[in-house]
Structure 1
Amino acid sequence: MSLNLSYGDLGDACAAAHALDLIGDRWSLIVVRELMFGPRTAPDLRSSLRGIGAEELNERLRFMERAGVVVETELGYLTKTTAYALTDWGRDLEKILSALSLWALEGSAHYPVPSTGMTPSGVMVAMRTMVPPQSVTTQMPVRVSWKLSDARCPEVEQQQFRLDWNEQVFDLDVGDVPRADVKVAGDSTAWAGVALLGHSLDEALAQGALRVDGDRPALERVIRVFSEAMAAVG
């Protein structure tokens, strides 16, 4: 994929137009979302990016690499596996994803946001979007650990995330947290429903979509904060 017939070629020197040449196609920002918490292989990305073909994904990754948004890397020490990771510049696109998400939610009365499914990375990016630093409250501290998989993509390994939330910091990222107060495991879409859409935690537990081990009241405080943030936007 090349930059032939870019906005610049057509006489438009706007920086926003140039950005659209780089990441304005259907898939680029979704690739960025799935790489936000660490490197992924092309097959894993394809499983998470529903509707994209292998050739189209590989072409998009090659273009994003030439553009400086992603970089090819390796996973593992003994068996080298090719994967893709975001560059520092690529990680800066999280603020673009967050702004687009908030814009879509604010206009949901005109064109509702779908609620059909979310990947583990997708729901965690959404959670980081919905709680800006000024929302940190004295209801915390709390430490939460998640192990989430996408029930629609059973071949993709689960991803682990952790939240360390106290009066000074809201730190939601990939990995584990020592001495977690509560641990959540299960389907990412089910967790998105509970945390962001007001679905019943009891129902998700009863259906086996989620499992909770530890301080459930602490988890419910976290859910309440996110539910209130979603309600404020919608």
Structure 2
Amino acid sequence: MAKKRSYHDACGIAHGLDLVGERWALLVVRELLLGPKRYGRLRADLPGIGTNVLAQRLSELEASGVLRKRRLPPPTSATVYELTDWGYELEPLLRALGRWAIRSPDHDATAHLSATSFLLSLRTNFDQGRAGGARGKYELHVGEEVARVVLEDGTLLVERGSQEQPDAVVTGPPTLLARVVYQGYDLGKASAAGDVEVEGDVGAAGRFLSMFSLPAPVGATSGPSGPSGLSGPSALPGPSGPDA
């Protein structure tokens, strides 16, 4: 493996870029923020990355202590990649970066959006003012990901896993769900068109999906046209959604 480049600068920012500043490195981190993934799942969720580049980034991030490789016990016996505790500390940095970058007039809301990026955008762009004192439990099926959502006392929990007795279950691809959440695509119309499926309390689902907002683009006085990602908490990480 070629030796990594370095800024040879004592500044913490420079050293941080030495650790995670290579192309694709932060997006690999983004895709692991909801939990471990196999190599093949990472490759599918980052369609623009080459196989050799992904392998190199994983190796570099492991060597730096940002992630680790783990073998699942039988009967699965598969290898997964997961962030270390230190690696998870990158989440608020990625969310802040995504919320900052979404204001760029050059943001392409139609580009690829992974399920993880969309779910992380919910953490990033949750608007307590819109939520008020609402409470609820939801289950989201976004691409390959299943997430449980708990809304309570002005706070929002979004994490991987199923939800017991949810008020509603919402299913759809990340790009179309991002249109509903961030671009004004009416949930009823999305459901009628077969783009999004809602089981349970449709009204509650609609209210929940309206509790997110984006910062105005640079130089604009009105709201932006596409979501922030972390891209993906809550985005690092739009019709594609957030991109971190």
Q: Which residue of 2 is the match for residue 114 of structure 1?
A: 109
Return the match for 1:175 from 161, 165, 169: 161
Return the match for 1:34 from 31, 47, 50: 31
Q: Which residue of 1 is the match for residue 230 of structure 2?
A: none
Q: Which residue of 1 is the match for residue 48 of structure 2?
A: 51
Q: Which residue of 2 is the match for residue 129 of structure 1?
A: 124
Aligned partners of 1:126, 1:178: CA distance in 2, in Å? 23
TM-score w.r.t. length of structure 1? 0.85
Name the Cα RMSD after superposition: 2.0
Q: Which has the higher contact order (CA 8 A, sep 6+)?
A: 2
Q: Which residue of 2 is the match for residue 165 of structure 1?
A: 151
Contact 1:2 1:63 in 2 (8 A): no
Contact 2:180 2:209 in 1 (8 A): yes
Return the match for 2:66 from 46, 69, 90: 69
Partner secondary structure for residue 22 of structure 2: coil
TM-score w.r.t. length of structure 2? 0.82
Contact 1:137 1:166 in 2 (8 A): no
Aligned partners of 1:166, 1:207: CA distance in 2, in Å? 31
Aligned partners of 1:76, 1:209: CA distance in 2, in Å? 37
Is 1:6 matched up with 2:6? yes
Q: Which residue of 2 is the match for residue 155 of structure 1?
A: none
Is 1:96 matched up with 2:93? yes
Return the match for 1:191 from 168, 177, 200: 177
The alpha-carbon distance between structure 1 residues 2 and 92, as it changes in their structure 2 partners (threshold 3 A), is farther
Partner secondary structure for residue 107 of structure 2: coil
Aligned partners of 1:112, 1:97: CA distance in 2, in Å? 16
- Which runs of 5 or more residues in structure 2 are unaligned? 217-222, 225-244
The alpha-carbon distance between structure 1 residues 54 and 169, as it changes in their structure 2 partners (threshold 3 A), is same
The alpha-carbon distance between structure 1 residues 131 and 168, as it changes in their structure 2 partners (threshold 3 A), is closer
C-alpha distance after superposition, 1:108-136 (max 9, x if no partner): 3x323433331110101111011267775
Partner secondary structure for residue 230 of structure 1: coil
- Which runs of 5 or more residues in structure 1 are unaligned? 150-157
C-alpha distance after superposition, 1:92-123 (max 9, x if no partner): 111111111111123x3x32343333111010
Aligned partners of 1:31, 1:105: CA distance in 2, in Å? 19
| Mean CA deviation greater in 37-46 or 162-171 | 162-171
Is 1:230 matched up with 2:209? no
C-alpha distance after superposition, 1:27-67 (max 9, x if no partner): 11111111111111111101110211111101110100000
Aligned partners of 1:137, 1:2: CA distance in 2, in Å? 52
**Which residue identity is paired with 1:144?**
Y
Aligned partners of 1:42, 1:224: CA distance in 2, in Å? 34
Aligned partners of 1:75, 1:199: CA distance in 2, in Å? 40
Percent of aligned pairs sharing the same letter: 33
Contact 2:115 2:142 in 1 (8 A): yes
Q: Which residue of 1 is the match for residue 236 of structure 2?
A: none
